[in-house]
Structure 1
Amino acid sequence: MNAIIKLEMKKNLQDRGLLFWTLILPIVFTVLFISVFTSGAGGTESRQVILSIVPGYTIMFVFFIMISMTESFIKDKHIGMVARIASTPLSPYLYLLGKWMPYMYIVLTQIVILLLFGKLVYDIPLEQPVHLLILSVLLTFMATGIGLALAVIVKTNNMGIALTQVVALGGALLGGLWMPVDMMPDILQMISRLLPHYWAHQAFQDAMAGALQVPELSQTSLILSGFGLVGFISALLRYPKFLRQAKG
Structure 2
Amino acid sequence: MWAIARTELKKTVQDKGLWFWTFVLPIVFIVAFVAIFSGDESTSYKEVVTQIIPGYTIMFAFFIMISMVIVFVKDRERGMVARIASTPLSIHQYFFGKWLPFMIVVLVQITVLFGFGVVVYDLPLGDPFALILLSLALAFIVTGWGMAMAVIVRTENMGIAMTQILALGGALLGGLWMPVEFMPEVVQNISKALPQYWALQGYKEIILSGGGVGDIWLHLLVLIIAGVAGGVLALVSYPRFLRQSRS
Report if TM-score (shorter chain) is over 0.5. yes
Structure 2 match to 1:34: 34
Task: Give the whole-Å Cα distance in 2 for the aligned partners of 1:56 and 1:24.
Answer: 16
Task: Give the whole-Å Cα distance in 1 for the aligned partners of 2:202 and 2:52.
Answer: 14
Q: How does 1:105-120 map to 2 (within 5 A)?
A: 105-120=104-119
Q: Offset at 1:12? A: 0.5
Contact 1:74 1:151 in 2 (8 A): yes
Task: Give the whole-Å Cα distance in 1 for the aligned partners of 2:76 and 2:150.
Answer: 11
Per-residue CA deviations over 1:109-149 (Å, capped at 9, x if unaligned) read 10011000000000010121111011011100011000010
Q: Offset at 1:47? A: 2.8
Identity over aligned pairs, percent = 53
Per-residue CA deviations over 1:139-184 (Å, capped at 9, x if unaligned) read 0001100001000011111111111111111001000111111111
Task: Give the whole-Å Cα distance in 2 for the aligned partners of 1:210 and 1:189.
Answer: 21
Amino acid at match of 1:216: D
Contact 2:60 2:167 in 1 (8 A): yes
Q: Offset at 1:216? A: 3.1
Q: How does 1:43-192 map to 2 (within 5 A)?
A: 45-192=44-191
Structure 2 match to 1:23: 23
Task: Give the whole-Å Cα distance in 1 for the aligned partners of 2:135 and 2:92.
Answer: 24
SS in 2 for 1:125: coil
Provide the aligned C-alpha RMSD in A. Answer: 1.2
SS in 2 for 1:94: helix
Task: Give the whole-Å Cα distance in 2 for the aligned partners of 1:127 and 1:47.
Answer: 13
Structure 2 match to 1:226: 225
Q: Offset at 1:44? A: 5.1
Give TM-score scaled by structure 1 length: 0.97
Q: Offset at 1:93? A: 1.1
Task: Give the whole-Å Cα distance in 2 for the aligned partners of 1:136 and 1:54.
Answer: 13
Compare 45-54 and 14-23 and name the one that shifted more.
45-54
Contact 1:12 1:18 in 2 (8 A): yes
Task: Give the whole-Å Cα distance in 1 for the aligned partners of 2:102 and 2:244.
Answer: 24
Task: Give the whole-Å Cα distance in 2 for the aligned partners of 1:215 and 1:130.
Answer: 11
Task: Give the whole-Å Cα distance in 2 for the aligned partners of 1:210 and 1:167.
Answer: 28
Structure 2 match to 1:7: 7
Task: Give the whole-Å Cα distance in 2 for the aligned partners of 1:79 and 1:11.
Answer: 16
Structure 2 match to 1:202: 201
- The gaps in structure 1 that reach 5 residues or longer are none
Task: Give the whole-Å Cα distance in 2 for the aligned partners of 1:215 and 1:53.
Answer: 24
Task: Give the whole-Å Cα distance in 2 for the aligned partners of 1:193 and 1:43.
Answer: 26
Task: Give the whole-Å Cα distance in 2 for the aligned partners of 1:213 and 1:198.
Answer: 18
Runs of 4+ in 1 over 4 A off after TM superposition: none
Task: Give the whole-Å Cα distance in 1 for the aligned partners of 2:213 and 2:34.
Answer: 30
Contact 1:126 1:210 in 2 (8 A): no
SS in 1 for 2:186: helix
